[in-house]
Amino acid sequence: MTLLHVTDLHFRRPWFDWLRHQAPAHSALIISGDLLDQRLPDINRQMAWVASWLRDSPVPVVVASGNHDLEWNAATYRWQPAYWLRELPPPVHPDGKVLAHAGLRFAAIACTQRPRSAAADGWVVHAPPAKTRVSRSEHGYDRGDHLLADAVLKHAPAYVFSGHVHDPTRWHDFMGDAVVFNPGANPHGRFPNHLLLDLETGEACRYTDRLHGAFSERVQVPGRLVLR
């Protein structure tokens, strides 16, 4: 069972096209937020296009909303949850839903919410837990979520899949008993930064497209999460 994890797609259509061809080779696709880009025009068109793309996914998708995926309510003059995402049916498992697959459970947690229980083996979030190397950018800023960090230490999921920080100092770290991932995002890449996690071997590999070609790095993670 191999999971394909990407984040911060920001409506880059070539990256969605790349995923369409790559996802079928894996058991499930994990997207940890910011599918849209609020800096681009016509956000409603973006929502409609991404929603259609997700509905047509050839594999189960666990997708958590990011800050760019929220909806602006002009009447209340405030941001509200990504209702456009929550309404999508299987194979999409959006905010508040859980994918049960091969005896494992993966929960999508909205960027406006906090996990309240340890009911899932893997959490899919947008901002990573604070005070980790995946939440600290290469410029020294920690853009992680302190409340999420408390929840991770309390409930101890096996894995936390995150994003938000495009240039983390590391793409994986540990918080208590949890392994935390953030593949980051390179806006100039021909394909999105992505993580492949093999739940049978416990091997994780991050791929990124750099100026002189593709680069990969592998790591062996603790075998807490195995096929049952």
221: confidence class by pLDDT, cuts 50, 70, 90: confident
| SS3 track for 13-40 | HHHHHHHHHHHHHCCEEEECCCCCCCCC
> Is the omega angle on the peptide bond into residue 14 within 30 degrees of 0, that is, cis?
no
228: confidence class by pLDDT, cuts 50, 70, 90: very low
Which amino acid is present at 182? N
- Per-residue pLDDT tens over the stretch 152-206: 999 999 999 999 999 999 999 999 989 999 999 999 999 999 999 999 888 999 9
For the chain, the straight-line distance linking the first and the last C-alpha, in angstroms and rounded, comes to 11
Taken in order of first residue, the domains within the chain and their CATH numbers are 2-220 (3.60.21.10)
**25 contacts 59 by C-beta, under 8 angstroms:** no
**123 contacts 107 by C-beta, under 8 angstroms:** yes
Average pLDDT over residues 131-148: 95
Exposed/middle/buried for 15, CB within 10 Å: 0-12, 13-18, 19+? buried
27: confidence class by pLDDT, cuts 50, 70, 90: very high
223: confidence class by pLDDT, cuts 50, 70, 90: low
pLDDT of 49 strictly over 90: yes
**35 contacts 11 by C-beta, under 8 angstroms:** yes
- Which are the contacts of 2, defined by CB distance < 8 A and separation ≥ 6? 25, 26, 27, 196, 197, 198, 199
pLDDT of 123 strictly over 60: yes
Mean pLDDT of the chain: 92
pLDDT of 224 strictly over 70: no
Percentage of the chain lying above the pLDDT 90 cut: 80
pLDDT of 227 strictly over 50: no
> Smallest Cα–Cα separation from 50: which of 60, 67, 37?
37
Catalogue the E-assigned strands of the chain.
Answer: 2-6, 28-31, 61-63, 71-73, 78-80, 92-93, 98-101, 104-108, 122-124, 159-161, 172-175, 178-181, 194-198, 203-210, 213-220
Residue 173, Cβ neighbours under 10 Å: how many?
21
